[in-house]
Amino acid sequence: MTLLPTPAARPVNPRFSSGPCSKLPGYSLDMLADAPLGRSHRAAVGKAKLKEAIELTRTILGVPAEYRIGIVPGSDTGAVEMAMWSLLGARGVEMLAWESFGEGWVTDVVKQLKLDATVRKAPYGEIVDFADVDFNKDVVFTWNGTTSGVRVPNGDKIPADRDGLTICDATSAAFAMDLPWDKLDVTTFSWQKVLGGEGAHGILILSPRAVERLESYTPAWPLPKIFRMTKGGKLIEGIFVGETINTPSMLAVEDYLVALKWAQGIGGLPALVARAEANAKAVADFIADKDWIANLAVAPETASTTSVCLKFTDPAIKDGAAFAKAVAKRLEKEGVALDAGAYRDAPAGLRIWCGSTVETADVAALMPWIEWAYRAELATQA
């Protein structure tokens, strides 16, 4: 069999991991020189940095002035857990899941909090139909399924006059997709995704209705200090101006600030969204006329523009999982795509991070390499 020659061009930056994601273009550690290291985060300089991070987050994401934004421990996981443990139990709960992170939240609510929740699951590649969901209950869902490459297309099916709260894990959506703030009562994300920041801290955004719940409802279970957002029945407002519950990494905060300023400099949210869309389109254009590879997302309007998941569809492939792993390994060995294998719990395939820090030219340059690696691997089966 004649093998394809290796493509002439290589991605300049081969970092296509879905988290931690690629740093912004031209990133260097020198950019963190202004971090107030060795200083108290409660000193004026530290507090000012934390407040600036909150304010820039609000400006870039267009979060309404009456919503609270807090920096919390434990990355996105910390933010989601804090919200679920503090808010759920006051009324019925619907848990929606279409991939492993959403399933993780289901496990926590059903097995740890032991709530009698309605659980709605869609298989990998599909999404739960929001028309079936009772939004008079509290609803927990993931905006973009990082491990399935499937996202909520918009918030149209979430009623404006719902009685329940919507709790949305937007970790691989925030900064790359438009989020309808009027439809989201709790929104969480981590810095390590679309802006290519560091792990460790999460962002928790609360609507006035979520705050009202926090101030009027006390869960039946104990809450560790790290989850507590109220004192004496009142919101601890300090958390939402940068007085963090415990000590943050000021290095990670500086890194987030650098990313936020880069985002603002290139044109803010519209520019970030456009970059992710252009990246995802570079993949879509490449696979459009191929009969051996396809997007895992079944409905095109639900296809992610950040964590683009691909599956091999060639019937000649004998062991799908081994094949996909071998292709990812070839890409890594050639230095053209690092960490591009599907998530461990997801169907076999590739996952190409297309978030806003990734350059479209790099995604485009990677595509012929995927074909090269596929053909090279197929040849070993002959």
Ligand X SMILES: Cc1ncc(COP(=O)(O)O)c(C=O)c1O
| Of the residues 153, 159, 180, 199, which one makes contact with ligand X according to CB under 6 A | 199
**What is the smallest separation between the CB atom of 290 and ligand X, expressed in angstroms?**
27
Helix or strand or coil: residue 72? strand
**What is the smallest separation between the CB atom of 75 and ligand X, expressed in angstroms?**
3
Rounded CA gap, 182 and 212, in Å?
15
| Of the residues 86, 148, 192, 356, which one makes contact with ligand X according to CB under 6 A | 192
**What is the smallest separation between the CB atom of 346 and ligand X, expressed in angstroms?**
11
**What is the smallest separation between the CB atom of 275 and ligand X, expressed in angstroms?**
19
CB of 100 or CB of 154, closer to ligand X: 100
180 Cβ contact partners less than 8 Å away, ≥ 6 residues apart: 154, 155, 158
- Residues contacting ligand X: total by CB under 6 A: 13
**What is the smallest separation between the CB atom of 277 and ligand X, expressed in angstroms?**
19
Q: Interface with ligand X includes 175 (CB under 6 A)? A: no
**What is the smallest separation between the CB atom of 343 and ligand X, expressed in angstroms?**
8
| Of the residues 68, 73, 76, 95, which one makes contact with ligand X according to CB under 6 A | 76
Tell me how long the chain is: 382
Rounded CA gap, 159 and 93, in Å?
16
Among 32-40, 71-79, 157-165, 349-357, which window interacts with ligand X (CB under 6 A)? 71-79
Q: Interface with ligand X includes 169 (CB under 6 A)? A: yes
Helix or strand or coil: residue 17? coil
**What is the smallest separation between the CB atom of 129 and ligand X, expressed in angstroms?**
20
* Dihedral sign, Cα of residue 374, residue 375, residue 379, residue 381: positive
Phi-psi category of 113—alpha, beta or left, where left has phi over 0 and alpha has psi -120 to 50?
alpha
Among 57-65, 167-175, 347-355, 361-369, which window interacts with ligand X (CB under 6 A)? 167-175
Among 74-82, 118-126, 247-255, 365-373, which window interacts with ligand X (CB under 6 A)? 74-82
Among 168-176, 218-226, 274-282, 356-364, which window interacts with ligand X (CB under 6 A)? 168-176
Give residue for tokens 């996105």.
76
Helix or strand or coil: residue 290? coil
Rounded CA gap, 114 and 218, in Å?
16
x/- contact string, 88-117, with ligand X (CB under 6 A)?
Answer: -------------x----------------
Alpha helices in 249-319 (DSSP H): 250-265, 268-287
Q: Interface with ligand X includes 207 (CB under 6 A)? A: no
Q: Interface with ligand X includes 75 (CB under 6 A)? A: yes
Rounded CA gap, 113 and 126, in Å?
27
Rounded CA gap, 348 and 223, in Å?
39
β partners of residue 309: 351
CA 221 to chain centre: 29
Angle, CA 28 vertex, CA 192 and CA 241 arms, to 5°: 50
| Of the residues 17, 22, 57, 77, which one makes contact with ligand X according to CB under 6 A | 77
**What is the smallest separation between the CB atom of 26 and ligand X, expressed in angstroms?**
24
Residues of this chain that bind ligand X (CB under 6 A): 19, 75-77, 101, 142, 146, 169, 171-172, 190, 192, 199
